[in-house]
Amino acid sequence: MKIDELEQLESEDLSTITSTERRKFLKMGLAITGLYLGGSVLSLTTVRSAHASSGVVPEPGQYPYNPHYSMVIREKLCIDCERCKAACVETNSVPEYGFRTTILERRRALTAGEHETTFMPVLCNHCNRPPCVRVCPTTATWKDKETGIVVMNPSRCIGCKTCMTACPYNARYFKEEIRAVDKCNFCYDTRLSKGKKDTACVEACPADVRIFGNLADTESRVFKLIHAPDTMVWVLRPETGALPNVYYINA
């Protein structure tokens, strides 16, 4: 085709599109984009308005639940006898390959080649802003509205394991027997709902390391322990913003 023949052809570029057509196209695009943008923004909101304060311990009176169950761990008293683990396994039928709670060992060098060993019990932190709850596609896991315990509905779980990936504390595992993710629920179904006041691990601990109770109750032992003067209180991995409810103290 010659150049002058080409020039005779009707232009197919965008200039031939009428402005009404252009507007229609833009409107459609904006509508669709807006719809999805709305969805994406929704996915960024937190599960429940959680209370954060300057420290890791919320201000008294700012606990979202009542009873607001939590656990205080006096880790320097732990002797790694593992009775808590055994009691948990027995009470909650935890299989051999899994655990709901375990004990980690930390070592720090002292002078003259000596070491100080601390045992650090870990379990689900029943966070106020739980990453596992946010990511679950089928709401198979949620924060119990009354107690704040992070619970599971096994029959709702599709086994995508996103909650396991999201948990900063390695608190979840897939339990083959029920084909669902399993985790610590503060013995909600096995003890608390049956009128018992504490969890199996707390009852089994001979050294009074684990203290369980209602943080919203200013008379409870957990409340008093983490609000006591001259006490160092910390939580694990605070940088993840999960606002955990398991507190570690040095007293």
Which positions lie near other proteins, rule CB under 8 A? 12, 14, 28-29, 32-33, 36, 39-40, 42-47, 97-98, 104-108, 117, 120, 122, 131, 134-140, 155-162, 164-170, 172-174, 176, 179-180, 236-237, 239-242
Q: How far is the CB of 136 from other proteins (least distance, A)?
A: 6
Do residues 73 and 249 make contact, with C-beta atoms less than 8 angstroms apart?
yes
Q: How far is the CB of 18 from other proteins (least distance, A)?
A: 15
Q: How far is the CB of 42 from other proteins (least distance, A)?
A: 5
CB closer to other proteins out of 24 and 227: 24
Q: How far is the CB of 33 from other proteins (least distance, A)?
A: 7
CB closer to other proteins out of 104 and 251: 104
CB closer to other proteins out of 39 and 229: 39
CB closer to other proteins out of 140 and 149: 140
CB closer to other proteins out of 45 and 193: 45
CA angle, residues 98, 69, 169, in degrees to nearest 5 = 35
Gap between the Cα atoms of 241 and 42, Å rounded: 19
Tokens of 89: 């396994």
Q: How far is the CB of 236 from other proteins (least distance, A)?
A: 7
Q: How far is the CB of 55 from other proteins (least distance, A)?
A: 19
For the chain, first and last CA: distance in Å?
91
DSSP 195-246: T-SS-HHHHH-TT--EEEEETT-TTSHHHHHHTSTT--EE-S-GGG----SE
CB closer to other proteins out of 32 and 228: 32
Gap between the Cα atoms of 183 and 123, Å rounded: 9
Residue 27: how many other CB atoms lie within 10 Å: 10
Q: Single out the residue of 28, 53, 87, 67 nearest to residue 205, CA to CA.
A: 87
